[in-house]
Structure 1
Amino acid sequence: MTRTGSAAASVRLTFGRLIAYSTNQLPLNMAALPVVLNVSHFYGEVLKVPLGIMGLIFIAARVIDAIQDPVIGLISDKFTHRGPRGRLTFVALMLPLMIGGFYMLFHPPEPLFVQPTLLALWLFVALFIVHLGYAGVSISYHAHGAELSDDYNERTRITVGREVFGLMGMTLAVVLPTIFTAKFGDHAGYVYMGLIFIPVALAFALPTLLWSPASVHPPVVREHPEIHVRYFRDWLVSLAPSLARPTRNMEHSTSLKTLVPFFAPMKNRLFRRLLLVFIINGSALGVAVSVMLFYVEHVLKGNKTQAGIILLVYFGAAALSVPMWLLLSRRYTKTVAWFFAMVMTVIAMSLAVFLGAGDFAWFLPIAVITGLGIGADYGLPPSVLADIINSPEGKDTQGDTGAYFGLWALSTKLATAIGAAGSLPVAALLGFNPSRGQYGSTALVFVYIALPVAIKIAAALLIWSIRIEAERGSVRDELMGRA
């Protein structure tokens, strides 16, 4: 991929334009959390869909969701030919799918309640629609944000400003289901959740669609697809020389020329390094989220209200951390600031190993510090990605923003899946398995504290030793003055 014209534009957004662009992140995060946390409870506990069937539906929906991300990234690139706001046109087209799918999830027709098979089919269709809409909106929206300025510090300001609204959306996603289900009951409460999302999503998406700044980049132009095929062939051969013969005629394969551009950004070595750190670091969050409620209930001996307070403190601290990460990234670099966040989180979470029953108040400061760290996890890596896309290491993929963010969305889901898949089985192996009446608190301490800390340390060591940022050294080089 290349861009026609010049792509160098050190634009600084006014505060009003920054807000206009950022608001759309609120409905994105407000939709994401309930789909992960509340759908299984609603359909499993309230509507009584068999858990085995529901598990198969979730797996199928996630597989389709993962496959579609790179495709959506390429489609988003096509929309850049519709003008400097072309990606936002694609956002507007996909927004009704996200809103409609979310409403469908939490408001299935009552006649289906007595027909589990049809209800399961409704769940699958609703998940497919909401995942498709969410992927279309988020990938194109984030790619547009990466093209609002080519200034190093302004990109950080854009991404962390956007994540402030995202963290507000997560807060609503935590608070509203609790309020609605407590007041109206589980069934009606989730229905109200689906209804309230419609006006909220429209209200916060419209400023972005109407007043967001335009892209400073010219349209994406695809040239010489055989380059991508040749790179993909060489990559396969490097993995297994025996594959050389089957791939000898790849340059003449139309289907391969169609598929390979999905993964063309992987030739950018800085992007590969960023993905590695991002997936490892993100899997720590996936582990912690999967067992957080169990930890509060069985280790701290807290209740649902206290769990909600912890989540509010966590996301609130993340939102308030924005100025700190902006200052640190300007004073040092984005990866140095990210490294500081990892170290801070490791120290705070390690202290939690000394807590036990009744120590809810002592856990709140730990929630504050880890919340500050998650602010960096959400705000800084996309800014680094925006720098990498147009770096010389990208070669002929420079400016291929949609394809990069398609793979980025895929890696985000991969990190969460790795964390979730590794947490509960390990906890069960160590003695926490409610289905068998096993409630070992030591297992939860290991999974919620020791395992994420170990993963964070691995990510911190990587980002310390390898160079990720374009035109910046590794964290070690930057801090020790050897860049």
Structure 2
Amino acid sequence: MNAPPAVLPAAAAALTPSAAPLHALALLRYGAPSLAFAFVALPLYVYLPEHYATRYAVPLGYLGAVLLLTRFADALFDPWLGRLADHLLRRGWAKPALLAACALMFAGFAALFALPALLPFAAGEWRFTLLFIAALLLTYLGFSAASIVHQAWGATLGTDETQLARTVAWREGLGLAGVLLAALTPQLGGASALVGVFAFALIVGLVLVWRAPDPAPHRAAATTSLHWRTLLEPLHNQRFVALLAVFVTSGIAAAIPATLVLFFIRDRLDAAALSGAYLFAYFAAAGLLVPIWLRAVRRWGAARCWLLGMGLAVAAFVWAALLQPGDRWGYALVVVLSGAALGPDLVMPPALLAGVIRAGGHGNRLEGSYFGVWNFATKLNLALAAGLALPLLALFGYRPGTLETGVLPPLVVAYCLLPSLLKLVSAGLLWQFFVRGRSGPAAFAS
């Protein structure tokens, strides 16, 4: 079967003719930092709220409010960081920039996990809040800068949709390996082990990436303005706006259960002791299936593969809504199905985005700007998930540590049904704009 309409026809013309597929070792070196980056993504969005609330008695509503504000503030910097990344790539400074960003990220990360032990929340709420916000912003800033540079770099490696998906798959596959390690480390050694293993993984990743292939020559103009209107130049690309709409709705649908998963396992399933095993199985299923999804891309294209992944996710969470306390094996099926759906969520959107960038004539020029806006949307998804879902749960009577019984308690509605509805909306947009014949991306031709 030929590639579907999701493969943007103008992309081929935007590619560098001499570009050749990268071998596995080169892709390993490029993707290596993603293993360490996963330690920031998983603990901050999944482990940190539960860790603060249950171990240090930090109020749930307070956590939601602080995470919402800091994630939103962090997201506002991403378009500027994206344009800055274009300048750094043009000057050939991708690797030093990545190193500097990682240093900031680690400093903030270590401070976050040291803070509640050194300064308990009850001992000084205002001082705790100021230091908590400062550590979060430092971590977010370093992580955002490192991620945008790394993603923009990867978007220049590859010659077609399949090769772009392969580059992304190595990056995200190593990220999944990092997630598995990050999920197990707190179970074995707590927060101190998490910080130590993160430091080691980060050093190894930076050593490897220093020998990775350099980004393709960048053509960003030296005089490009950092005025806010120029930072949003990618939004003038209608193909990108369509893809962003799909990504945002899908991302919110994924961020809500990611924020609530530990609460659901403990307070709905009564299976807190299995939290680490469930998380490990989820990410292991995702990682093991990535090679299969890559083969599927060659046959059906990235858009159709992403659509199939959305269908699997909806099936998994509808099944989860039917589970009762003690249904541990039933939730294991949810874990496998939703893990299978994670691969397309990770690999297909950046591969489609790289094609959109090239089709718009912005290849090797504005990758950083596109990923700056893209990461802004990602942060907004996570902010809404943590900042709205947690306080609303508290408002409707959910209390952490209390077993949720009955047919559809608030935790089940928030964790299972709301994400399913959002995934269906996202799937409809994906079908309309990137799968259906010439009413898809061809409708956005320049």
In 2, are the aligned partners of 1:25 and 1:166 still within 8 Å (CA)?
A: yes
Question: CA 1:195/1:458 → structure 2, altered by over 3 Å: closer, same or farther?
Answer: same
TM-score (norm 2): 0.86
Give the letter for the 1:413 counterpart.
Answer: K
Give the letter for the 1:433 counterpart.
Answer: Y
Cα distance in structure 2, aligned partners of 1:266 and 1:203:
37
One of 244, 260, 266 as aligned partner of 1:275: 244
Aligned residues: percent identity? Answer: 28
Question: CA 1:307/1:110 → structure 2, altered by over 3 Å: closer, same or farther?
Answer: closer
Instruction: State the SS of the aligned residue for 2:21.
Output: coil
Cα distance in structure 2, aligned partners of 1:94 and 1:427:
35
| 1:175 equivalenced with 2:184 (yes/no) | yes
Question: CA 1:118/1:47 → structure 2, altered by over 3 Å: closer, same or farther?
Answer: farther
- State the partner residue of 1:96: 103
Alignment of 1:260-339 (within 5 A): 260-302=229-271, 304-339=272-307
Cα distance in structure 1, aligned partners of 2:362 and 2:24:
34
TM-score (norm 1): 0.80
Instruction: State the SS of the aligned residue for 2:434.
Output: coil
- State the partner residue of 2:23: 14
In 2, are the aligned partners of 1:103 and 1:197 still within 8 Å (CA)?
A: no
Structure 1: tracts of 5 or more residues without a match? 181-188, 226-256, 478-483
Question: CA 1:436/1:169 → structure 2, altered by over 3 Å: closer, same or farther?
Answer: closer
- State the partner residue of 1:70: 79
Cα distance in structure 1, aligned partners of 2:345 and 2:51:
30
Cα distance in structure 2, aligned partners of 1:112 and 1:297:
27
Cα distance in structure 1, aligned partners of 2:81 and 2:363:
17
Cα distance in structure 1, aligned partners of 2:90 and 2:39:
31
- State the partner residue of 1:361: 329
Bigger-Rg structure (1/2): 1
One of 441, 445, 467 as aligned partner of 2:434: 467
In 1, are the aligned partners of 2:71 and 2:382 still within 8 Å (CA)?
A: no
| 1:453 equivalenced with 2:416 (yes/no) | no
Cα distance in structure 2, aligned partners of 1:422 and 1:122:
23
In 2, are the aligned partners of 1:9 and 1:149 still within 8 Å (CA)?
A: no
Instruction: State the SS of the aligned residue for 2:232.
Output: helix
- State the partner residue of 1:194: 195
| 1:29 equivalenced with 2:35 (yes/no) | no
Cα distance in structure 2, aligned partners of 1:299 and 1:51:
17
**Number of aligned residues:** 425
Question: CA 1:103/1:468 → structure 2, altered by over 3 Å: closer, same or farther?
Answer: farther
Deviations 1:309-345 (A, max 9, x none): 2111110011011111111111011101111111122
- State the partner residue of 2:399: 434
Question: CA 1:263/1:468 → structure 2, altered by over 3 Å: closer, same or farther?
Answer: farther
Instruction: State the SS of the aligned residue for 2:227.
Output: helix
Give the letter for the 2:44 counterpart.
Answer: V
One of 144, 147, 169 as aligned partner of 2:153: 144
Cα distance in structure 2, aligned partners of 1:17 and 1:342:
31
In 2, are the aligned partners of 1:273 and 1:468 still within 8 Å (CA)?
A: no
Quote how far apart the aligned CAs of 1:384 are: 0.7
In 2, are the aligned partners of 1:27 and 1:201 still within 8 Å (CA)?
A: yes
Quote how far apart the aligned CAs of 1:198 are: 1.4
Quote how far apart the aligned CAs of 1:463 are: 0.9
One of 394, 397, 408 as aligned partner of 2:374: 408
In 1, are the aligned partners of 2:310 and 2:423 still within 8 Å (CA)?
A: yes
The runs of at least 4 aligned residues of structure 1 exceeding 6 Å deviation read: 50-53, 435-438, 474-477
